A and B are shown apart, each in its own frame.
Chain A
Amino acid sequence: MRDRENRLATRKRAKKSAPWGTPKKLTPLGYMVREVWRNRSRTFMSAAGIASLALLFILFSSMEQGLDDHFRGETEDVPTEESIELFKVKQVMDDWVYLISALCWTLMVLVIVNTATITVVERKFELASLRALGLSSVQVSFLVGSSMMLIVSFGIMAGIIASVVIIPLLDIANLSLLGGGLDLPLVYDPISIVNTLLLGLGAGALGLIPPLLMIIRSSPMEVLRDAG
């Protein structure tokens, strides 16, 4: 009896050692979140990279939308000098917007490939152990893939939130630098949020292919040996 009490007491003391206490269960999701948290500085850097690219993408969408709106309502017979300048900008934008979007997306894919590959290489020993313990390569890929998707979602969300705050501010500040002294109109198009989400999902899916192939191709045995 006393023994049991002692044990319980020690258990209570031991509780302090891990902030989350004794779990009710271990789920792949819980494990994944823990891993993301453990590598939080890298998670943060990758998410920040993805966020800035998302912000850039939304910014360009808004510029294009702003110019479109500006000229849709155009009724003046004699265009002002500013209108002519703006029209020039619009022509350039129309040519470049796709290229810039594509560039944003490519960079996003690269950030994801990079982060996921580092994760897989760095956790090689751990991932091989999981497979030696009987998890299938599909399950291990799920773990890595979903933790990457979590990071991508963080990034995209942060980018969207930042854009909601920053773009109206930029519009007020008249973006005079970018427009070469022109008052470049910015119109926040809600569709660009959806586009950004799709962009992130697509980039995530594509960027995960090489690292996940790495997992599937590797043999649990080879990797265990490496670490030994």
Chain B
Amino acid sequence: MPDRPFIETIDVVKTYKVGSSMVTALDHFSIGIEEGEMVAIMGPSGSGKTSLLNMIGGLDRPDSGAVRVKEVEINRLGEEQRARFRKNNIGFIFQFFNLIPSLTAIENVLVPVMFERETPVKRAGELLERVGLGDRFDHLPGMLSGGERQRVAIARALINDPMLILADEPTGNIDSETAREIVSLFRELNDEGKTLILATHDRIVAGRAKVMIKIRDGRMVRGKAHSRDGMRSLSPDKGGGVPE
């Protein structure tokens, strides 16, 4: 198929069962994201941002619809295959950093590759230097500030040189000054050609992305949507979005 976007979700539906009722997290959600883009996903709490990132990152599977990343239909892969896909292609950055408390900064950067025969210690060190933690190699996460922890997490996300970086509220737990630095780092990575998708509440963070997508109740309310008949600009009143 010619010119399929780098990442696309087609008609993705995801519902969660809560007790006896169903919550729709993603409601026929379609989007196409080109390689090298930097996309901010905004929306109120519970609008489905995390669910969308989880789909793209292969952490979760849609009830229906398709998720394609780099021509791989990841919704068809099994759990283990998705794990491998994640490791090789996707860098994850989480709101709560998710560092391993018993491991030092540099060891945390090496976590995704610890089962590999060759440990790229040198690369891990370079990445830490790059995110400005050249003097924190041997610190445990408990000895680092929130911003420093997030930078360790960014270095970790880069260890396998992924083409896609997914960040779920990466600045949710750090002060705005540090957040600005983190976003600059994201911009730098994007300038180097990496595709970034960030879910965020922070307007300043979102403002520095190239594309902004707003979602509400699992539907896109503003942004560029993608459907089977190709790319088109989308506004809420033209279908596909939520009628307001």
Contact = CB atoms under 8 A, between A and B. Distances in A.
Nearest to A23: B107
Contacts of B86: 132-134
A136 B138 contact: no
A27 B111 CA distance: 9
A134 B135 contact: no
Contact of B135 (A7, A21, A37): A7
Nearest to A216: B79
A24 interface: yes
B137 A14 contact: yes
A48 to B, nearest CB: 22
Range for the number of chain A residues in contact with chain B: 35 or more
Nearest to B55: A221
Interface in A9-39: 10-11, 13-15, 17-18, 20-28, 31, 34-35, 37-38
Interface stretch (A100-108, A123-131, A155-163, A189-197): A123-131
A139 interface: yes
Contacts of B119: 24-27
A23 B79 contact: no
Interface string B104-123: 10110011111100010100
A131 B103 CA distance: 16
B227 interface: no
A10 B156 CA distance: 22
Contacts of B192: none
A11 B83 contact: no
Contacts, number: 119
B111 A26 contact: yes
Contacts of A14: 135-139
B23 interface: no
A135 interface: yes
A2 interface: no
Interface in A180-217: none
B208 to A, nearest CB: 24
Nearest to B140: A18
A56 interface: no
Contacts of B136: 14
Given A132-B86, A135-B112, A26 B107 contact: yes
Nearest to B129: A7
A50 to B, nearest CB: 23
A38 B142 CA distance: 13
A47 B75 CA distance: 43
Contacts of B114: 26-28, 31, 135
A72 interface: no
A227 interface: yes
A227 B96 CA distance: 9
Contacts of A131: 83
Contacts of A176: none
A27 to B, nearest CB: 6
A38 B111 CA distance: 17
15 contacts: A13-B135, A22-B138, A24-B119, A31-B100, A31-B111, A34-B103, A37-B102, A126-B98, A129-B94, A132-B94, A133-B87, A135-B83, A136-B84, A139-B115, A225-B50
